């Protein structure tokens, strides 16, 4: 389990993640000081088959939520197997809500979608960007904001579980695996 720490003047975020050895029974601990956000992050991680810890503190709700999403995307990227299935799709009903999520965790960012909260839409966009994923989230039905947002996080989590599952036998891309190095020109 790797730990990623992101510090700015506004926030401090720590994320430790690993693929769960017993999906569905994963241990998740989230503490951001924002109870509904903690619930959504816990939901996303459990449904994605990930376990670990997310801790954050900061000055403003927006800063905390955005910086956690950025750090979480990087942590998920680090926890992905090289031979990940890459693609995932799920549609989730939750009472009056029906939300569809499709993801390509292949390294290229694009986000399309809109939840009934600009902040939670921004969280998913920030998460997809730092993960390097294409993520489409469509609200197909619903009136209750809570149900729509939660169904969205569940759908993204299950789609992510599918996309990050080990496909076995090699990288699911004609390009092969992505190699990025950092070099000091000095």
Q: What is the pLDDT along the chain (186 residues), one digit of tens a residue?
A: 889 999 999 999 999 998 887 666 668 999 999 999 999 999 999 999 999 999 999 999 999 999 999 999 999 999 998 889 999 999 999 999 999 999 999 999 999 999 999 999 999 999 999 999 999 999 999 999 999 999 999 999 999 999 999 877 655 454 555 556 667 776
- The pair of three-digit structure tokens given for residue 92, joined into one six-digit string: 């989730």
User: For position 174, what pLDDT does the model report?
Assistant: 47
**pLDDT for residue 24:** 61
Distance of CA 128 to the CA centre of its chain: 7
The reported pLDDT for the residue numbered 83 is 87
Structural domains in the chain, CATH included, are: 2-164 (3.30.230.40)
Residue 172 pLDDT: 46
Give the Cα separation of 148 and 101 in Å (integer). Answer: 12
Specify the pLDDT at position 25.
Answer: 63
Q: Tell me what pLDDT residue 169 has.
A: 60
* Confidence at residue 185, expressed as pLDDT on a 0 to 100 scale: 74
Residue 176: its pLDDT value, please?
55
User: What is the 3-state secondary structure of the chain?
Assistant: CEEEEEECCCEEEEEEEEECCCCCCCCEEEECCCHHHHHHHHHHHHHCCEEEEEEEEECCHHHHHHHHHHHHHHHHHHHCCCCECCEEEEEEEECCEEEEEEEECCCCCEEEECCCCHHHHHHHHHHHHHHCCEEEEEEEECCCHHHHHHHHHHHHHHHHHHHHCECCCCCCCCCCCCCCCCCCCC
Based on its alpha-carbon atoms, the radius of gyration of the chain, rounded to whole angstroms, reads 16
What is the rounded CA–CA span in Å between residue 27 and residue 49? 10
Looking at residue 23, its pLDDT comes to 60
């Amino acid at each position: 389990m790797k730990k990623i720490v992101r510090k700015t003047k506004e926030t401090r975020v720590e994320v430790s993640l690993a693929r769960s050895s017993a999906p569905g029974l994963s241990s998740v601990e989230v503490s951001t000081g924002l109870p509904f956000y903690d619930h959504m992050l816990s939901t996303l991680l459990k449904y994605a088959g990930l376990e670990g810890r997310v801790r954050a503190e900061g000055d403003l709700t927006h800063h905390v939520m955005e910086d956690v999403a950025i750090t979480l995307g990087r942590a998920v990227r680090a926890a992905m197997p090289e031979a990940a299935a890459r693609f995932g799709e799920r549609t989730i009903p939750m009472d009056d809500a029906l939300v569809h999520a499709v993801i390509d965790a292949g390294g290229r960012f694009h986000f399309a979608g809109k939840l009934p909260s600009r902040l939670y839409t921004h969280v998913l966009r920030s998460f997809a960007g730092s993960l390097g994923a294409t993520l489409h989230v469509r609200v197909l039905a619903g009136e209750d904001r809570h149900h729509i947002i939660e169904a969205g996080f569940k759908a993204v989590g299950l789609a992510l579980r599918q996309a990050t599952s080990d496909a076995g036998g090699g990288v699911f891309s004609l390009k092969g695996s992505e190699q990025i190095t950092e070099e000091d020109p000095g």
